[in-house]
Structure 1
Amino acid sequence: MDKKRSGASGGLLYKIKRAACLDSSSSDTGKGQSKSSSNKVAHGFHLVEGQSGHDMEDYHVAEYRNQKGHVLGLFAIFDGHLGDRVPSYLKDNLFNNILEESNFWKEPEAAIKSAYRSTDKFILENAMQLGPGGSTAVTAIVIDGKDLWVANVGDSRAVVCERGSANQLTVDHEPHSERRRIEKQGGFVTSLPGDVPRVNGQLAVARAFGDQSLKAHLSSEPDVRHVPIDSNIEFVILASDGLWKVMKNEEAVDMVKSIKDPQAAAKRLTTEALARKSKDDISCIVIRFG
């Protein structure tokens, strides 16, 4: 089963829209670069709507901001389930919440974790407007082309190409790996034949934003990683699990290490994931340094 949340609705409406050619936003692509940083940063992205029987639920961020004399590259992929309201909210607000933390410049890791928690609290408190669904997230903040801060909840992943080899920067928060915590909090993990492990038989990740009905057994605490950017760091791939379900880290890195245009690299990866029969939404950002 490809859906992250079992029992997702909207399949019939999705098929009608496909037949009527009303889903013109089935893919999104673009690129850009930091113009004022002494260390060049360039990015490209490509997103493709999946064939799981629901509308596109992935959102991305790829932008640059000048703040307090620094150049920030802000990149993220949000993979929603049970609707797109939560990932849409995250797209517009999560980075603002992180940068508004008073200790961001002195303690980025603490600020990122605090902003993830407060954002999740807001989503839960406003479930009437944002709906019952949730979203995974992988975020990357590049500071002056010199420092990379990566965080994630769920199974969207960041992989860096360092000295020509793949190195996974994020943790896949799968239910079976957090079974002890989930059961201690009163929940359970199902492992049914032909399906992936799920929290309370529903969600295929152990950490996410939102998901009010499961929150007593679901964490929104991110794993955070800092990587100094030097000449050994070539590029980073951020992608939703629509890519990683059908491709290993080293395969992805090897496939695009010779492609200097990050937009072409992102499109190459999503195209290959489709060729490998990935049914989920596929979202990919490639960030190149130097």
Structure 2
Amino acid sequence: FLKPEFWRNPKKAIKRAYKSTDDYILHNVVGPRGGSTAVTAIVIDGKKIVVANVGDSRAILCRERDVVKQVTVEHEADKERDLVESRGGFVYQEPGNVPRVDGQLAMTRAFGDGRLKEHISVTPNVEIVEVHDDTKFLILASDGLWKVMSNEEVWDQIKERGDAEEAAKKLIDKALARGSTDDISCVIVSFLQSID
């Protein structure tokens, strides 16, 4: 996928890759039902990170002095009502529930979900962020983690452990212990060997 187009225009290349992935999923995996949010990251020469997401999977970047930066945008139905309506859909919220596209899907951007594809998008939000000397970790996780833990709580857990693999396992365990009922996945990319 890292073709010459990626080096010329990484944002455009990532968007094309998400579209190709969505086409594959729709035709070979889930058909009209089922789908997924996603977050991806490409680290370039340890100096830049290209982060993309659809839905509510999230990435945060952690730096020294407890600097935590969310580098993704969550594509919730109430926030992107204009997108849905411009494609002929509607956003509806039942009492006690979250707003949903056509009364069904809480996210406006996702892979799959063919039955709603006319009203949702697979176009990701793409950010290019610099890796500085004080960059410690990049955390990529699904909404099952973020529904029960804040960005800062996740960073606090990683600081306590110091080891990226161990911290990812502990974060999943903590999300389960807090009663998360959604899918939970977590990947931690370490830029330094240890935490001061």
SS at match of 2:56: coil
2:17 equivalent in structure 1? 115
Cα gap change, 1:194/1:225 in structure 2, threshold over 3 Å: closer, same or farther? same
Partner AA of 1:131 in structure 2: G
Matched, 1:265 2:158: no
Whether the 8 Å CA contact 1:158–1:169 is kept in 2: the answer is yes
2:183 maps to which residue? 281
Over 3 Å counting, the alpha-carbon distance change for 1:123 and 1:281 in structure 2 is closer
Q: Which runs of 4+ in 1 moved over 4 A?
A: none
Is 1:183 the counterpart of 2:103 in the alignment? no
Identity %: 56
Which runs of 5 or more residues in structure 1 are unaligned? 1-97
CA-CA distance at 1:272 after TM superposition: 1.2
Q: Check the 8 A contact 1:242/1:278 in 2, yes or no.
A: yes
Q: Is 2:137 aligned against 1:235?
A: yes
Task: Decide which of 162, 179, 197 is 2:63's aligned counterpart.
Answer: 162
| Equivalent residue letter for 1:153 | V
**TM-score scaled by length of structure 2:** 0.90
Aligned equivalent of 1:131: 31
Matches within 5 A, 1:49-198: 98-99=1-2, 101-124=3-26, 126=27, 130-132=30-32, 133-163=34-64, 164-198=66-100
Ranges in structure 2 where 5+ consecutive residues have no aligned partner = none
Structure 1 residue 217: Cα displacement: 0.5
Q: More strand per residue: 1 or 2?
A: 1
Q: CA deviation at 1:269?
A: 1.0
Q: Normalising by the residue count of structure 1, what TM-score does the alignment of the two structures yield?
A: 0.62
Shift of 1:180: 1.5
Aligned residues: 190
Provide the residue aligned with 2:109 in structure 1. 207
Q: Secondary structure in 1 aligned to 2:78?
A: helix
CA RMSD in angstroms, aligned pairs only: 1.5
